[in-house]
Amino acid sequence: MANSLLDALSQLQHRMVVDLELLVSAESPSAHPVELGSAAYVVAHVGRGLLGCEPVYLPGEGCDHLLWTMGDRPKVLVVGHYDTVWPPGTTARWPFSVDGDKATGPGSFDMKAGLVQAFYAVQALGRPDGVQILITGDEEIGSPSSRSWIEKLAAGAEAVLVLEASLDGALKTSRKGASTYRLHARGRASHAGLEPDAGVNATLEIAQQILSIEKLADAPAGTSVTPTTLRSGDASNQIPASSWLDIDVRAASMDELERVDCALRSLRPQLDGASLKIEGGIDRGPLAQARASALFDRANEVAQFLGLPPLRQAMAGGTSDGNLTAALGIPTLDGLGAVGAGAHCEGEWAQVSAMPERAALLAGLIDSLLRSPVESPSTS
């Protein structure tokens, strides 16, 4: 099977690139319902042609999520997303193109090449019973409407395979968890020239809080606490009565996420007359390596069987829907998508010659799991 599977998919490389061009050319910026609707139709068209069946459209807020189910009792859930970070009109100045071994265009690496690989992998197996493919439309904005679908489907699966792009070719066996917050400061407005001392400056309050917030980071522990978006006041000649700050937190352990959460909720005003309110919280726990180790070992066995080089593994600082499934205790392996570089960056690209190889790896891994599932780890 090894040589025949890889050879068969290698012969389909040109068709994979044609389908990738279709997906990349169908712009799919998150939170743009019209474009997402058109892109979902294209994804469904490509998937239908390869899988021989229509997807079920799962309703979401501003987008649909697409689900293909093969058989009556799904065992392996393959997860991807078709939305991208690129605004409408990007393809007009940066269209899909292939230069040598690099296919580029908005969303080519993150993660439309991964979608193509998933479709071809399942087709190569003859569309076996026991597989579901879920492709969502809101991952890049935190999966607000797909999260419940992901968790529901994963709860009935024995393994989850996530088609996010690889990290310099490495599979992602762990990811940091993430929290998001918005800190509001309230002061009191007054005229900046006539009565500057009559006001309570919300900008100054937030500025002092930032100095405390940045000290919550712990680089040796892998914890980052980053003040990001900031807005204050309504007029340039007025002491601002309100200000808000967005805070991004990433950590490798739940203990660290909880430590920072407690500290942020313990912040107290520094200026007389000011008040604070914190919104948000822990969004996704870490994808612990224990959830992926058995799947990674199985994938390495498949790679060896296919005659591919040994696989590498890495931790990713960003989050994915794999964080959600791992939190349920389901064995989860991430980074099975494209080989390439530049996620969320101008010029992102996917390696064309690696697409058949990664499709074969995915197909072999799915086949192996359908024959013999891995054991769920007892600890996170």
Contact 181, 280 (CB under 8 A): yes
User: Which parts of the chain fold into alpha helices (H)?
Assistant: 2-10, 13-25, 33-51, 90-93, 113-124, 147-155, 202-213, 254-265, 289-306, 321-327, 354-371
**What is the pLDDT at residue 299?**
98
Q: How many CB atoms lie within 10 A of CB 330?
A: 21
Q: Tell me, what's the pLDDT at 375?
A: 81
- Given a cut of 90, is residue 221 above it in pLDDT? yes
pLDDT, average across residues 63-78: 96
Interatomic CA distance for residues 183 and 67, integer angstroms = 38
Burial class, 89, CB count within 10 angstroms (exposed 0-12 / middle 13-18 / buried 19+): exposed
Question: What digits encode the pLDDT tens for the residues 259-311?
Answer: 999 999 999 999 999 999 999 999 999 998 988 999 999 999 999 999 999 99
179-203: pLDDT as tens digits: 999 999 999 999 999 999 999 999 9
List domains and CATH numbers for the chain: 2-175+286-371 (3.40.630.10), 177-284 (3.30.70.360)
For CA atoms 185, 210, 245, 190, give the dihedral sign.
Answer: positive
How far lies 369's CA from each of 150, 295, 298, 324, 342, in Å?
19, 9, 9, 20, 31
Q: Beta strand 76-81 with 159-162: parallel, antiparallel or unpaired?
A: parallel
How large is the average pLDDT for residues 213-223?
96
Q: What does the radius of gyration of the chain's CA atoms come to, in whole angstroms?
A: 23
Which residues, other chains included, contact 350 with Cβ-Cβ below 8 Å and sequence gap of 6+?
Answer: 20, 102, 103, 104, 108, 109, 113, 165, 338, 339, 340
Looking at the predicted structure, is the pLDDT value of residue 318 above 90?
A: no
pLDDT digit string (tens) for 10-37? 999 999 999 999 999 999 999 999 999 9
Give the residue among 36, 38, 49 at the shortest CA–CA distance from 136.
Answer: 36
Q: How many CA atoms lie within 13 A of 288 on its CB side?
A: 16
pLDDT band of residue 178 (cuts 50, 70, 90) is very high
Q: pLDDT at position 111, please?
A: 97
- In this prediction, residues 217-233 reach a mean pLDDT of 96
Measured distance CA(323)–CA(287) in Å, rounded: 5
| Per-residue DSSP letter, 272 | T
DSSP characters for 317-342? SS--HHHHHHHTT--EEB--S--EE-
**In 3D, which of 333, 340, 342, 341 has the Cα closest to residue 314?**
333
Verdict on whether the full-model pTM lies above 0.75: yes
pLDDT at position 2: 61
pLDDT tier at 108 (50, 70, 90 boundaries)?
Answer: very high
**pLDDT interval class at 378 (50, 70, 90):** low
Q: Is the pLDDT of residue 1 over 60?
A: no
Mean pLDDT score of the chain = 96
Residue 380 has pLDDT above 50, yes or no: no
In 194-275, which residue ranges form alpha helices assigned H by DSSP?
202-213, 254-265
**379 — pLDDT class (breaks 50, 70, 90):** very low
What are the backbone dihedrals phi and psi of residue 297, each rounded to the nearest 5 degrees, phi first?
-60, -40
pLDDT higher than threshold 60 for residue 82: yes
- Examine the pLDDT at 124 and tell me if it is beyond 70: yes
